[in-house]
Amino acid sequence: MSAIITPFVLLVNLSARSTLRGLPEPATGSWRPPLDPGKPVMRRPAGLIAAVPLAALGLVVMAIPVLMVIGMVAGDDPPETLTAGSCARNDGSWGAQDLKPEPCGSSDAEFQVTDPGVEGCAAGDYLADLEYSADGATSLCLHPVGR
């Protein structure tokens, strides 16, 4: 909610600030003149030193959404699709499959991709994640290639 409310509060504060700037200099009720307020804070050495960590914090706060947007735009590359009759290798674990197409005559080919059909995958076959099918919803079986 604060992300929605904050811009409105800042606008209200801007109008209050303009009202405050329009006020006359303060007058004292005594016979002495008011004390000199000194240099503005950002013209003092301590103010400049304090501005460095505040600027760094501001950069970090701004970097977080920028990096999130970059991550969403870049994202991961979609996995390459497999088709029945092709061959593949698994560069990851079975919990996190990383299947890559390979020519069936290659020594790197570990599995032949088959269609499960009505009866399902044969005994000893593995099931490929759905994301590796062309439509993202079709099951594919991975039959180990015996070498």
Q: Per DSSP, which regions of 91-139 are E strands?
A: 99-102, 111-114, 126-128
Q: Band the pLDDT of 147: cuts 50, 70, 90.
A: low
Q: Residues 88-133: pLDDT tens digits?
A: 988 887 778 888 888 988 888 889 998 888 788 888 888 888 888 8
Q: Residues 4-56: pLDDT tens digits?
A: 999 999 999 999 999 999 988 777 777 777 788 889 988 999 988 999 999 99
Question: What distances in angstroms separate CA 131 from CA 2, 76, 87, 101, 122, one per listed residue?
Answer: 38, 13, 16, 14, 21
- Decide if pLDDT at 63 tops 70: yes
Contact between residue 128 and residue 82 where contact means Cβ atoms under 8 Å apart: yes
Q: Which residue has the tokens 């240099």?
A: 39
> Looking at the whole model, is its pTM more than 0.85?
no
Q: How far apart are CA 145 and CA 135, in angstroms?
A: 25
* Burial group, residue 101, by CB count within 10 angstroms (0-12, 13-18, 19+): middle
Percentage of the residues of the chain whose pLDDT score is greater than 90: 25
Q: What is the pLDDT of residue 120?
A: 84
Structure tokens at 47: 């103010």
